[in-house]
Amino acid sequence: MCYDNYMKIKIHYFASLRENIGRSEDVIESQTESLTVKQAWQQATGLPELQDDLLIAVNQEYTSEDVLLSDGDELAFFPPVTGG
């Protein structure tokens, strides 16, 4: 068995999304050749689409759903921010 493509991704959910999903984090493992943010979302939540207004961060920086993930990345999904 080949483990070359093994990826482990930690996912955080915040605020209303955390409440809707019912947990604050997931860890997913994948053996696929490539994994996008959207595929990670689908694997973790079982939901087909990301809501339009959800924001995405990889390693604490804003990104989009088509971006490819690397092993060990920290992924986060959250609603529009309301600080200040």
Residues forming contacts to another protein in the complex (CB under 8 A) are 12, 14-16, 55, 57, 60-62, 76, 78-84
Based on CB atoms, which residue is closest to another protein, 30 or 79? 79
Kindly report the backbone phi and psi dihedral angles of residue 34, in degrees, each rounded to the nearest multiple of 5, phi listed first. -145, 150
What's the min distance (Å) between Cβ of 6 and another protein?
Answer: 24
Q: How far is the CB of 16 from another protein (least distance, A)?
A: 5
SS3 category, 73 = coil
CA gap 63, 70 in Å, rounded: 14
Rounded least distance, CB 54 to another protein, Å? 12
Question: Judged by CB, which is closer to another protein: 33, or 61?
Answer: 61
Which residues sit opposite 58 in a β-bridge? 61, 75
Q: Kindly tell me which of 1 and 81 has the beta carbon lying closer to another protein.
A: 81
